Amino acid sequence: MASEITYAEVKFKNASPAAVAEAPPETKKHEHHPQKYPLCLPWLISLMLLLVCIALIIALLVVAPFSCGRDQPTALQQTFKEWQCSSAGLQGKERGWMCCPNGWKLFQNSCYYLSDDKMSWAESEQNCTGMGSHLVVINSKAEQGFLFKELHRSSRGENYYIGLSAQKVGQWHWVDQTPLNESAAFWRAREPSNVDDEKCVVIHTSTGQPNNWNDVRCGNQHRVCEAAAVTV
């Protein structure tokens, strides 16, 4: 007798129905809306540009004496913060201002400082250099006359060092090492003495102009410093 084969249908309770594949949600397209700007924005930008221009103009006017059209300010400009200016004719048809530190005297294109205290000649030159200047170099009779009037008016002292000295007797040189031009020399009568212990030169204010230079010992005297005026 042939054996019977029995088939049974088995159902599992924990079985889950077939997963239904879900399509990713359709990406929504973003709509681009033009950004709206306030109507006054162009006016605000124009106003800001105008204010920037005004600020630049003011800055140029304020710092002009310290810039002087140079890439770097001079030592004189770095040393002094307060200046006095006077109108002066420049080359050509242009006009401008010539400026000196407060307390300095303006003549032509130079500023001059007349000291209240006394120093040796070497210390005097060092002091002038520290202020961005040098002991005065006199190049003309007009400059000599200007200095005499200013020194005579100040009544601070009798002798004022200028930038003339000699390392060897009779060999006079200015502080920039240029030789003395005898046509622009203003010695007193019977001066210079040309002796070994008198190698520095002063303006003697008690002697009439223009000839009032005197060679002296290089001890303590007043001094005259000179620097180029600042052109604005």
177 vs 74, higher pLDDT = 177
Query: Is residue 92 over pLDDT 60?
Result: no
What are the extents of the domains in the chain?
Answer: 113-225
pLDDT of residue 106: 94
pLDDT of residue 33: 52
Residue with tokens 């000291």: 115
C-alpha 225: how far from chain center: 19
Q: Regarding the domain delimited by 113-225, which CATH topology (the fold level of the hierarchy) does it fall under?
A: Mannose-Binding Protein A; Chain A (3.10.100)
Strand, coil or helix: 122? helix
Query: Is residue 85 over pLDDT 80?
Result: yes
Report residue 57's pLDDT band, with 50, 70 and 90 as the boundaries: low
Listing DSSP states for 156-183 in one string gives S-SEEEEEEEESSTT-EEETTSPBP-GG
Report residue 9's pLDDT band, with 50, 70 and 90 as the boundaries: very low
- What type of residue sits at position 67? S
Query: Is residue 20 over pLDDT 70?
Result: no
User: Which pTM was predicted?
Assistant: 0.67
How far apart are the C-alpha atoms of 156 and 175, rounded to whole Å? 24
Residue with tokens 């007349």: 114
143 vs 97, higher pLDDT = 143
pLDDT of residue 125: 97
Apex 110 CA angle, 112 and 69, nearest 5: 125
Which residues are paired to 113 by β-bridges?
Answer: 225
Q: Among 3-7, 83-87, 157-161, 195-199, name the one with the lowest average pLDDT.
A: 3-7
Query: Is residue 15 over pLDDT 60?
Result: no
Handedness of CA 60, 79, 201, 158 (dihedral sign): positive
| The pair of three-digit structure tokens given for residue 62, joined into one six-digit string | 């304020």
Pinpoint the alpha helices (H) of the chain.
41-67, 75-79, 121-130, 141-154
Residue with tokens 């300095």: 104
pLDDT of residue 127: 96
- What type of residue sits at position 161? Y
Query: Is residue 60 over pLDDT 60?
Result: no
| Radius of gyration in angstroms for the set of CA atoms belonging to the chain, rounded to a whole number | 43
> Pairing mode, if any, of strands 222-228 and 134-135?
antiparallel
Q: Among 28-37, 114-123, 183-192, 195-204, name the one with the lowest average pLDDT.
A: 28-37
| The pair of three-digit structure tokens given for residue 88, joined into one six-digit string | 């002066």
Report residue 17's pLDDT band, with 50, 70 and 90 as the boundaries: very low
**Cβ atoms of residues 133 and 223 within 8 Å:** no
Main-chain phi, psi angles of 107, to 5 degrees:
-145, 120
| The pair of three-digit structure tokens given for residue 29, joined into one six-digit string | 């397209």
Query: Is residue 16 over pLDDT 50?
Result: no
Residue with tokens 């140079």: 70
Burial class, 202, CB count within 10 angstroms (exposed 0-12 / middle 13-18 / buried 19+)? buried
